[in-house]
Structure 1
Amino acid sequence: MTDIIMQNLLSPVVLFFILGLVAAIFKSDLKFPSGLSEALSIYLLIAIGMKGGIELSHYSVTAIIRPLLGTLFLGVFIPVLTLAILRMMKLDLKNSIALAATYGSVSIVTYGAAVSFLDGHEIQYDGFMNAMVVLLESPAILVSLLLLKAIENNTQSIKTPYRLGIMDGFVSSLGAMLDRKVLKESLVGKSVLLLMGSLAIGVIIGEDGLPVVKPLFIELYSGVLMLFLLNMGLVAGQRLPEIRRHGFKLLLFAILMPLLCGSAGVIVGGLAGLSLGSATLLGVMAGSSSYIAAPAALRSSVPEANPSIYLGLSLGITFPFNLILGIPLYYQIAQWTL
């Protein structure tokens, strides 16, 4: 296990992230132009979606139905579990909802780093897993916002994870929750739109289109990922001072929650019949937290939530934890359970 962690720690993508982290901590003048950062993000979203679509074109619906259902289950289960835990920790409702959406959604870059980890260790995984990333991106946001409206419309308080007082509120608040802003950010926000669109294009062009997209979106992928992680190290390092203001409990949450959800993802992957590599990726997806799609939805839907909490924990703690330790841990858990 130690050897796997050390190999991951010494991989180029992680070392570039650490370089950015060090630069931010020591207040270097290194910085990325905002336009370049945006371009790298767009590239990674398209590359992951395109590769997933081309691979998905090789599979029938019956071959992916179990992984698909397992992924949807995680998209509902994780935000409900996260909300219950945070309410037991006495965190206020709005920030609890924001963290439920953030930790229920996916970090595309963490997923990309996990793919590089598996490729580096020559571990096979199913190509349709890129499609599962797209599938997991939106449900957690919608479920979290629905929970918020349901709880606000219900007179019962949340006392335990088993008594959310949701059913009556669910029915009465469904229409209120599904307003234009929520749907726009959850379904056609930048990350979801690019992932779904490039996935669809990949399915349409199939293997015949591979020679056209391979030079840009496959051969250059690892190099672009290194540049993006250098920038993410800078951003994560800048978020570290914000985290100290929110206490030890939330710091512990940002480390233990990905372990809990990542383990659940691996177990669900095993039940869905996934291979070792694919179950590891599902664990990474479940254990990661969003800092693109979910925050974009939260800014308009839950403006009262504190961005320094949900962005600070996601980007400052959970993202580096997963990148350095989480990915090899989920792989080890998959080895133990499959």
Structure 2
Amino acid sequence: MISDHKTLCYAFDLINKMIAIRKKIFSLTVTMLLLSSCSQEVLIQESVKITPINQITKILGGNNIYEHDYSFDNSISEQEACKTAEKELKQQQIVNQCGVQDIESVSVLTIFNNDEQFYNFMRERITGEIKLFNKQGEWTIDRITPNRLKCTVKAKIEVVCHPRDTSFAPLFADSITLNKRNFIEGDQLKIEVESENNLYFYLFQYSPDLTNTKNDKKNFVRLFPNQLDADNYFKKGTYKIPSNNKYDLLLTLDANEISTNELIVALALRKGVPFKRAMTFANFNKILSGIKLVDRREAHIPYSVTKR
């Protein structure tokens, strides 16, 4: 919880004119070197497993009918495998017909494909969405080897690609740079932004928690703007975060963690939006979905933290 600022800061000033207060935001620690400040603690999230996607897709004689094979073993049920095949068929057609915005999206989708909420968000909210999905016949199951099976799904699919304003920050996804991608616990996180347009800039940390089946954990945290670095209206030029010497961003791990994969999510918006400091994925998704795509750009940058 955020403590009352005046009361807390007054007490600290009496104790010491120069103090360091650590603010833990999931796996991110903000160390503030100030005369006074305030603090908040939230639990660190679990790490994300990296699992490649298994997909073979065929176009069947036009008419927007597509077939997709998904191979699996006896560790999952036929129903689960075929549902996965349908999901991958939809996602693949969005990519095929709408493209992938940037190389970072490919990296993010590879690392975070086990995080179904975020994976679907990346594919369907940002790039395009399925307008029509009519299954053609029933699923078919074939045994490839004694221990390997294949589910084949066939469907008629129509995809709608989301429009963008090509004049608004068209290179935004490539304009965000982290000082590292593979951090050691205790390293500082620094971000550099090359702004092409006048825009409102927002920076979030996303820490997936696949064990939280209710999806009610506030694991989208706004890192910038913040109470110590509040001016997020950028003109054309180069900007650095942190932009001053009032705080550092230090990456940490939970006591039981050896490593974790997390994500920096950056937004460029035409108008300012009052994002809360910590949100569930659903809250973040709802707010972002209410902003027209012509009025926003996104960048998604994965990084890892390993125990020292």
Structure richer in strand, relative to its length: 2
Higher relative contact order (CA 8 A, sep 6+): 1
Instruction: Pick the TM interval, shorter chain.
Output: under 0.3
| TM-score, with structure 2 as normaliser | 0.24
| TM-score, with structure 1 as normaliser | 0.22
